[in-house]
Each structure stands twice: as C-alpha cells, then as structure tokens.
Structure 1
C-alpha cells in the first residue's frame, strides 16, 4: 500500500509543454489511492484540457475564481482548496509561476491557493535549458525551498526547443516515487519496529468448543494501521478475528490460543522498539483438552481451569530498551486498578477502558480511554472512533520515545 493512500492531493498545472504529463500524473496519484483535485492556470488549458483532467481525477477542475459571463457563478474558494489538501504538487511549474510563488504574487487561482495552503508543497520545474540555469530561476528555487517547499529537480534530455540539457519535468512515476520517499523519510517512526497483540484468544475445551471472549481485535488493528502510517515496521499478533489487514508495512502473525500468542510475542520482543499488548487474552484455560467431542450426557458439567501465561507481565520482566504499553479493562476502581497493573507489570504506560462507559469495550467501532503514563498521570479522552483513539495513543507514545 502506498503512503499516498487516502491522501488528498491538490495538483497545480501551469502553462508549459510538460502539462501533457499532468494527465498521467493524476492517474498515478489515483492508482496510489489518493484523492485528487486539479487547479490550473488559464494558459495551461492550451496544453491540456480541463475535461481530460476532470475525467481522470473524478473531480471538477478549478481554473478561475468564477465562471466568466455566468452571473450565477459560485465563487471558487481558494482558501477552502488549500485547507482541503494533505499536500500540494505543482507540476509542471514554469519559470513564470515559480517567480510569482517566490515573491508572493497572486494574480490567478493557482497562486492564491498556493499562498493559502497549510500543507507540504512540492514543485517540479519544467523549462528550457537557459531558463533553468538562469540566476533568477536559481533564486526562485532557493527562495521557495527556504519557505519549506520541496523541489523535485528537472531531468536532462531533449527539450521543446531542440536543445539537450536540464529542464525536463520529472516523469510522473518518478514524481510519485519521490513524494512517497520524502514522506516516508520524514515519518516519526521510520526505522522503528512495533509489535502489537490484538484480538481474543480461544482456549480449546474439545475439538469443537472453546473458552473465549467478545473482542473483535479492531482496536489493535487500528493501532497497527496507525503505526504503519507513521513509518513503523509492524508485527501484528492477531488472535481469531474477522478483520482482514492488508498493508505492506504490517506482518500479521495469526494465532489462536494464549500459548501461541505468548510464543509469538516472545519470539519478536527482543527486536522491537515499541510493544503494545491490546489483546484480550483468556486468563484461564481448561486443565486438559478432550481429544473427542464431549457428549451432552449430564445436566451439568464441570471443567477444571488453570491460569494461562501472563504475556504482558512476562514481557515486563525481560524488558530492556523497549517501550511497553498495556491495556486494562476495568469495571470498578478503574484508575486505581490500572495504576496497580502498570507498576506490577513494569509497564511504561497503560490504556484504561471502562465497561461503564457507553460506546467503549468489545464489538464497538468507538472507544473511550484514559491514558496513564509511567508516573501515574492519567489523561482522559472523549469517546472517539477507534481509529481516532489510535492517533491519541501514538501521540502519547511519540512524546515519550522520540
């Protein structure tokens, strides 16, 4: 999965012959899973049509503040466009547009949108050789980069003038690859390995029956997806769950029993930087497992249960450099019991869930947590989607490990 998946990309197209590549660039962004809107200068329409770009982007193309001659035209809000985008890409970026960007000129919709953008901005210059190496162009490049914009350098080759040299806009696939790598290199958890246990465990009674719980594994999966989006390499140890995970940064280790989860966690733990135990592991399991299905003969049946291995406590005992985060699901004396668990199991933090909170717990898409750090400081959060909760949790982890 591309790091651009789910991103909102605003593509600016200016009036250069390389504008014909913008159609391929839109397709490449869409293929990567991004949503795309296009803003183009009026002159750029002479090189590529708005119809082509709107068809490929599946969105209307913006080129002016209003539709000329239409007395009922709606104003195009450049501020709204700038705030919509997760990143803005100007490709091709002509010498004229780059000079205006560098000096704060705002005489068209694209420039006004650029000046309103709060997101990272990438620009891919495209111009003839002598223009590219002219001191004024060099000044524009340097000034724009000093503002925090990212330059995607032009390549060398045959130019529209017939000259051979630097000035060709980078190819669409190379632009996408450049942006992906740039985003990944800036992600806070790049180079970190994160292990997450998630879901329930099933403890067999016989070949048919088991002891389990209602955990769906959704909270752990959302944590894994968040860790991956932050650049981490993730090991997700997942108990029986209907949720499917497809992300190139996430390795899923499917397990069923607590013993299997224990073994998988210990096989990985020494090599991770962060470990999060969000799984709902069964506390007890049958002392013996019947090899055949137990027949329903009597009006009652007794099963001897024995404790399962405490995965979280065992990791706390061997912890060295790792940041270890646990989960606590409580129904009474919640904060006090969570703090005791934090200390007893040698954790760096614990996430408290209370079954007394509506919308929290198992089989829901929402959660309401209190994050307790190593010093025992409790930070409560409002009810949120589990995806939003995963952001809060990783913000807390980042503040302590990065």
Structure 2
C-alpha cells in the first residue's frame, strides 16, 4: 500500500491507499453524487490529529484516506453547513462547540442530523522562542495588552500600550508583538473567550459594563487591536512557530499540540502561575484549557466510503484513549468514562440537540 501526500490550498492533506467498505451506493440527500473518500474540514488544531487518524485507518483497512483541510473552525462549519451531498464535507473539525447560529445555518441548508463527538482536550498556549524572556501572564494582562479599547476616565479609549512593562510592572521591557490565528479560527474564538473575556471581568469598569450590557461587554473584551500589535498569521500554526524562531522578542498563540511537538524551539508562558502541560490541561488547572470536537453528517455514514471506519478509528482506544497514538501528538485524552461515552455516541450515531447559544 502506498500513501501519497498532496498539499493544496488551505493546507489540505490527502492520503491515498486502497479499498474501504461502502455500506450503500446512494448519494447523501441533496444530490451531487458520492465521493471516493471521507472529507473533513475545519480547525487547524484538530488538523494534525485528523490527518494521523486518516493515515492509520487507511493503512489498517485500505481505501482512500480521508481528505483533511485546515480552514479554521469557523471556515469548516461554513463549508460543512453549506448543504448536503458530495460537494460539502462529511465532517467539521472544531476547536470549540458549534454555535447556535451555525447550527441554524446547517438546518436551513438541509443539514439536520448532526452527530457531535468530543475527541479530547487541548490548551491554548502563549509561547515564545526559547532564547526569549520567560513570561508569567495573568488574563487581565492579556486583555490590557490586546484589547482594541481599554477603560480611560469615564469611558474607553484606543489601547496605547506598546511594551509589556507598560501593561504591568515586572513584565519584560519588550514590545508587545503577538502572532496569532485569524477570526475564522476556533483557537482565536477560544482565546478571546478564555483569556481576554475572563481577563476583562477582573477590570472594574468592564465588570460593571457586563452587568449593564453583556453584548457591549463582549464587544469590548473580544475585539483585538488592529494597530500591528496582533498579527493574524493564517491557519498554519507551524508557521507561527517558525516566525517565533526568527523574532525571539515576539509571542505566538496556538494549540498545545504545537508546543508539545516543538519543545526544542519554543516555550510556553505560564498563565496565572500555571504552565501548560499534559497534567494541568487534563485536570483543568491551566486557565486556557478547552475541548476539541468533530461533527459528522449522520446521513453520510454508510454512503461516503470509509466514513464509518474513520469515525470508529477516531474514537478507538488506540487513537484517543489514554496512551493512544494521538497523545504523542499533543492531544489530551478524555477521562476513561467520557471516552467510553463518545464511543457510544459514534456507535449509535446519536444526533445532537440544538446549541443553547
């Protein structure tokens, strides 16, 4: 069996092999025919896990391995929810839960029976080159460094902080320069929620705003500066790691798995005294911990060749169980009982309910 790797737009990975089972010959509802392989698109954080599963499933069972694209969580949901049939992905990879607005768009396009599968945990790290300063950051400091507007007098004003020591005494006298994911990324969504929003809650003026008008509070706490302090760096987190090596004074925001696989090049900042490690993320002690998901169209199982095998492979003990091969890539496994529950979801193809928000 041969495995071929093709890099296409959006960091698509296609791994080829030979002969998986197909449980049906009809196309998914909505027309467009059927594909010869599974198609998954979305989160850059889930991307390396999904590609590894695709390769292993193809190696062990034959058939064309899943085509996996790194488009960001938002981009993946947009494509996934675009419609049914072979012109749209079977799976959306996500580094946050699906939003109600995304679910509603799915339903409006005829994508109704969606199965939500939690595959494990991840942490969002703020990292820099190993030769750079060592950081221990509080979430309030991340808000004050990166928010587009900060409290000033009785209102708000554009953020003028240029160096970390201007944000808080004791921080390095380094320019604030952070390379991070774009707005379409689930990592970006999770960072603004877990880091900046939580940090803003510690600021009296923002805490008062949250009580008075939560929508305004979210707008203030989630909007990142656009004056060159934060630089959107696409959906390729490996590119951020390479940039940090070239600019030791800068910081980068990406998933823990990329830190885990580049410990010789970069180091993760502590967040409120807690370093990002396997143990602190799995226990929830690390403040920027999150869950990772894949979403699948139930109607495509038994139609798209290899989709059932791909799902079974993803939730297998060998892949996402404790000590599984994805753990070596940086995935933090679910507790045993939760892992077994996700295996049951895949076995029964239990359809999710509409998200609350």
TM exceeding 0.5: no
Q: Which has more radius of gyration?
A: 1
Q: Structure 2 length normalisation: TM-score? A: 0.22
Higher relative contact order structure (alpha carbons within 8 Å, sequence separation ≥ 6): 2
